Amino acid sequence: MGRNPRQSKKRRGRKFFRVFLAFVVVGIFVAAIFLSFYYRSYSEMIDARLSGEVIHGESRLFTSPKLISIGQQMDPDRLAAYLEMSGYSTSDNAESAGLIARTDSAIEIKPSKNSYFNGVNGVRIEFEKKRISHLRSLDNGDPLISAEIEPELITGLFGRNREKRRPFRYEEIPPILIKAVLSAEDKRFFEHPGLDFVRIFGAAWHDIRRGEKAQGASTITMQVARSFFFSKKREWRRKFKEIGMAILLEHRFTKEQIFELYANEVYLGNRGSFAIHGFGEAAQAYFGKNLREISLGQAAFLAGIIRAPSNYASAERRPERAVESRDRVLAQMTANGVISQKEAQEAMEAPLNLVRGGFGASPSGHFVDMVRDDLLDRFSEEELIEQSYRIYTTLDSDLQRIAIDALEWGLQKVDAQLEKTYERWRKNGESVQLPQAALVAMDPHTGEIKALVGGRDYAQSQLNHALAKRQPGSVFKPFVYAAAFETALDGENISGQVFTPLTTMVDEPTVFFFDGREYTPNNYGQDFHGVVTLREALRRSLNIVTVKLAEDVGYKRIVSFTKRLGLNSDIKPTPAIALGAYEMSPLEVAKGYTAFANYGLRCEPELLKDVVSRSGEVLQNNNPRRRSVLDPRVAYLVTNLMEDVMNHGTGAGVRSRGFSAPAAGKTGTSRDGWFAGYTSNLLCVVWVGFDDNRELKLTGASSAGYIWGEFMKQAVQLPGFSGTQRFERPEGVVSVSIDADTFMPANESCPNVREEIFIAGSEPVEYCTLHGNIDY
């Protein structure tokens, strides 16, 4: 009996269905395992990367605390913005540096456990016409004359990629910036589930037609997935990973949280050697502003550069790029109905006010480089990358800004003087090399570096000229004079003579012989003055007299003296030592000058104050490193002579340009220009010169002096540096009335009398016999 064809067909159908069903079940099972694996894997990635605090899991560098005082001019809005940039919040936040409470006329600052002032209740600041009228402690309500507030953030991350961030919460992001970003990058962000299928299929079709992976279709959520978890290589495999992670992110976080991650992570170009991440840092880097102060046009610019940030990093030098970025987003915002055509037109006509890349971005770049090297001597790189250390430095944010401005202003003056030289180079077909400059400002009593600029343009060159060794020229002379004045204490020198500011020498062309060779120095401008005192010789910066002095004191004694001060160990006992022929860095000169400004105590330069862990434990605490290297009386004599240099000598140009505070200083002219000087509470050294060591052909006064004077003129107006005092005469220094003609103690008949100072016991005792005949 044969089989029924119809029944056989049914059996085959049922068998196929069972096999198909088995495949479906197995496929679903495998897919479930696969999806479960990736869900768990991606969840672990999210937990590992985003657990706890998303952006703040990083080491951050801060300046030193900011000093405020009664009577100081200050805008309450700018102060609040400063505090928010330093980590304070207007609402309770467990991770913030503290809480800000505002009224119409006052701000109360309450530090948290994450503040530099951990354990302090805070301060109330009252304002009247944008000036601080009262300060009160929140501990007990007592009135204060001045107070310190939170340090300013220098850089938001200390890591391998030198990234910078200034994190903001979603609610702190300006609404106009959110609208600009959505218009430029993902206008349906708040509607789609993490994927914009219209854009994805459109981009896929575009790629297929072109035969290459070129068209982007990433939503903001997918960009967050890529930035935090995956590489940026264009490939389909990565795109599928992004899609999976984007779906999971949408499941784990709210839209606002995802946008906050994006706003703080998005890459927005480079300034100097720093990669700029997040709109908070970008607003500071491109505009020098707090994020909440940006205009509509500036918000459009920031949103527009997301597509190709490297193309816009130099937008201040290529303004057409900045305009293109801004106008493109403004047009998109108008098309999306976010702003009106009138608002867009007004924003297009308004200037962007981009800050310069060299001075505006990475303003502390050279200082940060030095801090990095210092930290790596104390901690491993892994610790600095992975731990949430708060690293408090010695930098004063206001002084640093003044230093940058002074350097830029002074170099414009130098460039103007060298314009004929530049023109000659152009005519000869030579490239025009601009001179470089460096400025170091220190607290002379602690060694804390308060401001440091290591070059003309950090964005173009990260070479730190504050550490580069060059011939210091005449700024070295005070060390020679100090070694000479020490003879009043021990009388030990080649000539057996005791040297005082009144000691006379003949300033005339002289050939010196050393080690069988001739040495023939000259005065600047070949100008000679005959018989002069050592005071006049330093005031006029006379080379011949200084070499004679070094010869009489003993070159070896001067070398020994400089080693005691911690200066260049390669200095040799030759006649050239007197004229600063042996190289030193600006920072080294500054260290040596602390011995004069600090009455004989030499201070080692300091970069760090404290390193604090996330839990609040102080891991590193730096105290001033001081060492007595000079008798206070000798230090005061040198300071007094350098006051004369500032008031009546080669440094007097800074007085004519408006700097009037009591100060001591010295010019230096080698192949470069130098100026070193100090007040009672601030020391500053400036260097100007060419990288290839060609001669600047400008005096220190007309190159570095411009920068020094402009910097110090503004510095002494700041609350922390305005209380300059006259240099106090230490015990053991006496003043004697001297006849100007005979350099002997004056009698009542002497017509021209001036005061001179001496270490007690070294002053002259025989009175003037030229004027009158008085028996003493």
Domain boundaries, the chain: 60-155, 163-349
Say what the pLDDT of residue 341 is. 93
The residue that leads in pLDDT, 151 or 722, is 151
Angle of the 5-50 helix axis to the 220-229 helix axis, nearest 10: 70
Find out whether 457 and 357 touch, Cβ atoms under 8 Å.
yes
Residue closest to 538 by CA, chosen among 605, 479, 494, 470: 479
Find out whether 483 and 493 touch, Cβ atoms under 8 Å.
no
Highest mean pLDDT among 106-110, 144-148, 577-581, 706-710: 706-710
Say what the pLDDT of residue 35 is. 43
Q: What is the pLDDT of residues 237-291, one digit of tens each?
A: 555 666 766 777 777 778 888 888 888 888 888 765 567 888 888 888 888 787 8
Residues in the chain: 776
Find out whether 219 and 261 touch, Cβ atoms under 8 Å.
no
Q: What is the pLDDT of residues 709-733, one digit of tens each?
A: 999 999 999 888 887 899 999 999 9
Strands 88-89 and 449-453 come out as unpaired
- SS3 annotation, 726-747: CCCCCCCEEEEEEECCCCCECC
Q: Which of 97-111, 355-369, 431-445 has the lowest mean pLDDT?
A: 355-369
The residue that leads in pLDDT, 403 or 210, is 403
Find out whether 298 and 290 touch, Cβ atoms under 8 Å.
no
Overall fold of domain 163-349: Penicillin binding protein transpeptidase fold (1.10.3810)
Q: Which of 197-201, 738-742, 769-773 has the lowest mean pLDDT?
A: 197-201
313, pLDDT greater than 70: no
Q: What is the pLDDT of residues 21-61, one digit of tens each?
A: 655 555 555 444 444 444 454 444 445 444 434 444 567 88
Overall fold of domain 60-155: Penicillin-binding protein 1b fold (3.30.2060)
704, pLDDT greater than 80: yes
Say what the pLDDT of residue 166 is. 67
Q: Which residues pair with 739 in a beta bridge?
A: 753
Q: What is the pLDDT of residues 95-116, one digit of tens each?
A: 678 888 888 889 999 988 888 8
Residue 593: exposed, middle, or buried by beta-carbon count in 10 A (0-12, 13-18, 19+)? buried
